């Protein structure tokens, strides 16, 4: 990572780190926690500073990024990824044909369900371009030694030559996240001192002053690699009323194995495999007992729970939009009482009793009701989070710096969920920088945890137009205890946006 940061520093200094007008609107929220400026990202990408091939093959002599056909054929670390994705496509197609036998499915506009073209991952005309760099030191609770993560997010793009000889570039609906440890225990700064979490946090908060992190490289060069996360819009259904014209997104994770030096297919963190759990009585019993144990339930409330792998899935298909109501589109559906036709894993009385036991002498700020438990069970998963206040199924599609005149849909680099969470993430970096132990807790995905800051007040990210809010319970003047703080800004009122009796959206009172 020190090599990466050394290159990044040089580019930031060389080009002055100027924030472009396209990124100015949200740059203030992302200050110190993410690099979203399209001009800087373009320079980093075009100078081969932070390309996938440079990070995974640092001794490579060439100074240009690899197209996807070469990327997956010349980098042995990535060899397991294409066949794993191909297998998921095969499963998805088989499931779609079984569920919707009257519909056609394939690549192209002639089909009812239109697939992502897998040929894009084997093409000389496509490559991954840098879409953003995101500090995730707020995830240091997963591994304190590594101080959290730094995520380099890439967007797949196709490059073509027009008849007049000019070039065109089109972004495709896939992101590739190279997740690196924020720190390695062997990493040192320029003076030979070990790099600390405080050092890293200070450099991020100092607006690009990474000087204290530069230092010399260390061996092995792959010490900072953690995993790869892929997100593909696997299908769209613009002609299909059976799908309510939704899109499906495929999520996969590949964990780096230092022994084999490859990224291997892995489970998705906290992606509950509900179908497998519901079908297996032993798993059902074990999962219920594990999650309702007081210590685990408290971590579940804080949003820092790490569910054991035996309960997790190795892939997730995320339908969007999923709406505000519990439905089969959501990953936890069927596990709670009143959902689906089968026996639930969690009866209401189970949850109420477990909450009473877990809260003896301890305040639980988020889960204070069965409805709060159900919402956390959904948004703690990768799929449930991506369904909440995302841009389609993406949280970070990145600004389209390839376009001469980006449309409004490609000027905003990230989702409302992403920007709403920056106050919490920056508070954690500030604590790290001061040498304090951070509060790693997080609220629900629908509403940001403000940490006492008024920075988001009145915005769509917190309580402004379109924000998620709590409806009064039918027949009473009260709101569900888990969502009492979900109010709307002055001049707005919480109104039902679906059949939901609990969650609405903030709109003008006269609507």
Dmax of the chain from CA atoms? 73
Q: Write the burial class of residue 191 (CB in 10 Å: 0-12 exposed, 13-18 middle, 19+ buried).
A: exposed
491: left (phi over 0), alpha (psi -120 to 50) or beta: left
Percent composition of the chain: helix, strand, coil (DSSP 3-state, to 5): 35, 20, 45
- What mean pLDDT do residues 130-146 have? 95
Residue 462 in contact with residue 469, Cβ under 8 Å? no
Specify the pLDDT at position 27. Answer: 63
Mean pLDDT of 107-135: 95
Residue 409 has pLDDT above 70, yes or no: no
3-state secondary structure at position 459? coil
Cβ contact 168:108 at 8 Å: no
| Spatial distance between the Cα atoms of 503 and 81, rounded to a whole number of angstroms | 39
Q: 393 and 233 in contact (C-beta within 8 Å)?
A: yes
Residue 17: pLDDT band (50, 70, 90) is: very low
Asked if pLDDT for residue 249 goes beyond 80, the answer is yes
How many CB atoms sit inside 10 A of residue 96's CB?
22
> Average of pLDDT values for 21-43?
73
- The span from the CA of 467 to the CA of 506, in Å, is 5
**Whether the model pTM is above 0.85:** yes
Round to whole Å and give the CA distance between 82 and 229.
Answer: 13
> What pLDDT shows up at residue 19?
41
Is the pLDDT at 37 greater than 80? The verdict is: yes
Contact call for residues 465 and 507 (beta carbons, < 8 A): yes
Q: What is the three-class DSSP state of 179? A: strand
The pLDDT assigned to 474 comes to: 58
Q: What is the mean pLDDT of residues 219-245?
A: 87
Tell me the torsion sign for CA atoms 496, 497, 501, 505.
negative
- The partner residues of 167 in beta bridges, in order of sequence, read 161
Instruction: Tell me which range, 2-16, 355-369, 386-400, is most confidently predicted by mean pLDDT.
Output: 355-369
pLDDT (average), residues 70-74: 95
pLDDT digits (tens, 9 = 90+) for 313-325: 999 999 998 888 8
pLDDT, tens digit, for every residue of 419-464?
999 999 999 999 999 999 999 999 999 999 999 889 999 999 999 9
Helices 370-379 and 348-358: crossing angle, nearest 10°? 90
Which residue bears the tokens 């259904």? 237
Burial of 10: CB neighbours in 10 Å, binned 0-12, 13-18, 19+: middle
First to last CA, the chain: 52
State how far the Cα of 269 lies from the Cα of 278, in Å rounded to an integer: 19
- Any idea which of 231-240, 300-309, 332-341, 398-407 has the lowest mean pLDDT? 398-407
Q: Which of 267, 247, 264 is nearest to 255 (CA)?
A: 264
Which residues neighbour 167 within 8 Å (Cβ) at sequence distance 6 or greater?
Answer: 159, 160, 161
Rounded to an integer, the average pLDDT of 371-387 is 94
Q: pLDDT band for position 12 (50/70/90)? A: very low
Q: At 156, list the tokens.
A: 């797949």
Residue 248 has pLDDT above 90, yes or no: yes
- 181-227: pLDDT as tens digits: 999 888 887 788 888 999 999 989 986 544 334 333 566 888 889 99
CA distance 237 to 16: 44
Tokens 């594990």 — which residue?
290
Q: How far apart are CA 261 and CA 284, in angstroms?
A: 35
- Angle (CA) 412-451-292 rounded to 5° is 100
- Which residues are 233's β-sheet partners? 249
At residue 461's C-alpha, the angle toward residues 458 and 466, to 5°, is: 80
Q: What is the pLDDT of residue 32?
A: 82
- Give CA 80 to chain center in angstroms: 22
pLDDT cut 70: percent of the chain above it: 90
pLDDT of residue 238: 86
Mean pLDDT, range 377-402, rounded to an integer: 88
Q: In terms of pLDDT, which residue wins out, 472 or 86?
A: 86
Q: Is the dihedral of CA 44, 46, 52, 54 positive or negative?
A: negative
The token pair that represents 224 in the structure block: 């900072």
Mean pLDDT of the chain: 87
Measured from the Cβ of residue 289, the count of other Cβ atoms closer than 10 Å reads: 10
Check whether 242 has a pLDDT greater than 90.
no
* Cα 421 to Cα 401: distance, rounded to the nearest angstrom: 24
- Closest CA relative to residue 294, chosen from 377, 358, 349: 358
More confident residue, 240 or 232: 232
The DSSP H or E segment spanning 40 is: helix 38-46
Q: Per-residue pLDDT averaged across 267-279, rounded?
A: 97
For the chain, give the percent of residues with pLDDT over 90: 63
pLDDT at residue 405 in the model: 65
Q: Give the total residue count for the chain.
A: 511
Q: Half-sphere exposure (CA, 13 Å, Cβ side) for 406?
A: 18
Q: Which residues lie below 8 Å from residue 125, measured CB to CB, with a gap of 6+?
A: 67, 158, 159, 160
* SS3 label, residue 197: helix
Supply the pLDDT for residue 23.
44
């Amino acid at each position: 990572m020190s090599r990466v940061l050394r290159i990044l520093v040089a580019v930031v200094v060389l080009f002055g780190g100027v924030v472009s007008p396209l990124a100015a609107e949200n740059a203030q929220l992302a200050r110190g926690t993410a690099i979203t400026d399209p001009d800087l990202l373009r320079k980093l990408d075009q100078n081969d500073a932070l390309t996938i091939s440079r990070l995974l093959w640092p001794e490579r002599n060439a100074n240009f990024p690899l197209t996807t056909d070469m990327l997956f054929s010349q980098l042995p670390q990535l060899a397991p990824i294409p066949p794993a994705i191909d297998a998921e496509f095969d499963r998805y197609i088989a499931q779609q044909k079984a569920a919707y036998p009257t519909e056609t499915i394939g690549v192209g506009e002639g089909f009812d369900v239109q697939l992502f073209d897998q040929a894009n991952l084997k093409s000389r005309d496509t490559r991954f371009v840098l879409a953003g760099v995101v500090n995730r030191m707020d995830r240091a609770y997963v591994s304190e030694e590594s101080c959290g993560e730094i995520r380099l997010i890439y967007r797949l793009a196709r490059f073509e030559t027009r008849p007049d000889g000019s070039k065109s570039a089109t972004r495709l609906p896939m992101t590739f996240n190279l997740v690196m440890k924020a720190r390695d225990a062997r990493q040192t700064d320029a003076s030979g001192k070990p790099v600390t979490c405080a050092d890293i946090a200070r450099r991020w908060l100092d607006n690009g002053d990474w000087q204290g992190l530069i230092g010399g490289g260390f061996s092995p060069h792959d010490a900072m690699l953690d995993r790869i996360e892929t997100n593909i819009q696997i299908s769209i259904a613009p002609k299909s009323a059976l799908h309510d014209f939704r899109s499906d997104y495929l999520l996969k994770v590949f964990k780096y194995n230092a022994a084999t030096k490859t990224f291997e297919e892995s489970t998705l963190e906290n992606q509950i495999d509900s179908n497998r759990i519901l079908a297996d009585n032993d798993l059902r019993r074990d999962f219920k007992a594990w999650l309702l144990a007081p210590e685990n339930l408290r971590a579940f409330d804080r949003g820092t729970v790490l569910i054991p792998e035996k309960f997790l899935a190795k892939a997730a298909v995320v339908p969007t939009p999923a709406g505000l109501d519990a439905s089969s589109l959501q990953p936890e559906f069927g596990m709670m009482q009143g959902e689906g036709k089968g026996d639930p894993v969690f009866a209401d009385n189970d949850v109420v009793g477990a909450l009473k036991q877990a809260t003896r002498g301890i305040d639980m700020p988020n889960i204070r009701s069965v409805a709060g438990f159900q919402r956390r069970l959904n948004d703690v998963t990768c799929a449930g989070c991506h369904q909440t206040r995302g841009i389609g199924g993406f949280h970070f599609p990145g600004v389209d710096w390839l376009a001469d005149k980006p449309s409004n849909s490609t000027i905003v680099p990230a989702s409302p969920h992403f920007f709403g969470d920056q106050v919490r993430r920056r508070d954690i970096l500030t604590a790290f920088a001061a040498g304090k132990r951070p509060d790693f807790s997080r609220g629900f995905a629908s509403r940001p945890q403000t940490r006492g800051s008024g920075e988001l007040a009145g915005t769509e990210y917190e309580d402004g137009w379109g924000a998620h809010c709590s409806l009064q319970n039918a027949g009473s003047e009260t709101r569900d205890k888990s969502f009492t703080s979900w109010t709307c800004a002055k001049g707005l009122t919480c109104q039902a946006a679906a059949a939901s009796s609990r969650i609405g959206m903030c709109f003008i009172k006269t609507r």
